[in-house]
């Protein structure tokens, strides 16, 4: 009998699932993993290459206006946790030096950082205009597919 089977035998099915999930998390945190690009990723990469790394065709800008108190550290931790759970948000595209074909490289960690700009010093139409200009600029900024991250968040403090 396998010695590992003996160790797992007294565990309940839930405990076995948790042990497997823990092992998979540890393995995923240790190294980057490489895979071929999906068809959608190939299209994204090709468009980006054709436009000299300046393509914004796949940007999905979303603006939200939040009212009330906001715990910045909690928001940062929540966004970081979403990125940790989703491989696609920790993926970059690299050329394989042997084949010359692009590959996706899934990183164990992300370099995501919530960016905060404080506009509370300006007021009224000036502040609104500045907010719209910054949001527009951010939505038009291309992503660097080779270095990532492929998710950005800009928080504009108005008051």
pLDDT tops 60 at residue 144: yes
Overall average pLDDT of the 111-139 stretch: 93
For residue 9, what pLDDT band results from cuts at 50, 70 and 90?
confident
What is the CATH classification number for the domain harbouring 103? 3.30.559.10
pLDDT, tens only, 16-49: 788 777 777 666 555 778 899 999 999 999 999 9
Q: Is 20 within a domain?
A: no
Total number of domains in the chain = 1
Q: Which residues pair with 117 in a beta bridge?
A: 156
pLDDT reported for residue 33: 84
Q: Is 112 within a domain?
A: yes
Element (H, E) at 95: strand 91-95
Burial letters 57-84, b for 16+ CB under 10 A, else e: eeeeeeeeeeeeeeeeeeebeebeeebb
pLDDT tops 80 at residue 122: yes
pLDDT tops 80 at residue 157: yes
Q: Which one, of 107, 85, 83, lies nearest residue 34 by Cα?
A: 107
pLDDT reported for residue 10: 80
Range of the domain at 123: 33-157
Q: Is 17 within a domain?
A: no
pLDDT, tens only, 41-97: 999 999 999 999 999 999 999 999 999 999 999 999 999 999 999 999 999 999 998
Please, where are the H alpha helices in the chain?
3-8, 13-30, 39-50, 72-85, 124-139
pLDDT tops 90 at residue 135: yes
Phi, psi of 150 (to 5 degrees): -95, 20
Phi, psi of 157 (to 5 degrees): -85, 120
pLDDT tops 80 at residue 2: no
Q: Is 95 within a domain?
A: yes
Overall average pLDDT of the 107-113 stretch: 88
C-alpha separations of 78 from 31, 63, 124, 154, 155 in Å: 23, 17, 31, 14, 14
- Residues 107 and 91: their CA atoms lie apart, in Å, by 6
């Amino acid at each position: 009998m396998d010695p590992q089977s003996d160790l797992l035998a007294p565990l309940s099915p839930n405990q076995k699932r948790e042990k497997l999930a823990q092992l998979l998390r540890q393995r995923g945190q240790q190294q980057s993993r490489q895979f071929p690009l999906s068809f959608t990723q190939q299209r994204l990469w090709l468009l980006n290459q054709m436009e000299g790394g300046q393509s914004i065709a796949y940007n999905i800008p979303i603006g939200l206006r939040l009212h009330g108190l906001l715990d910045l550290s909690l928001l940062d931790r929540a966004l970081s946790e979403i990125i940790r759970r989703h491989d696609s948000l920790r993926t970059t595209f690299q050329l394989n030096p042997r084949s010359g074909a692009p590959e996706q490289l899934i990183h164990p960690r992300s370099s995501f950082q919530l960016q905060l700009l404080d506009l509370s010093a300006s007021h009224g139409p000036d502040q609104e205009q500045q907010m719209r200009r910054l949001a527009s600029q951010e939505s038009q900024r291309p992503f660097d597919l080779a270095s990532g991250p492929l998710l950005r968040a800009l928080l504009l403090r108005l008051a």
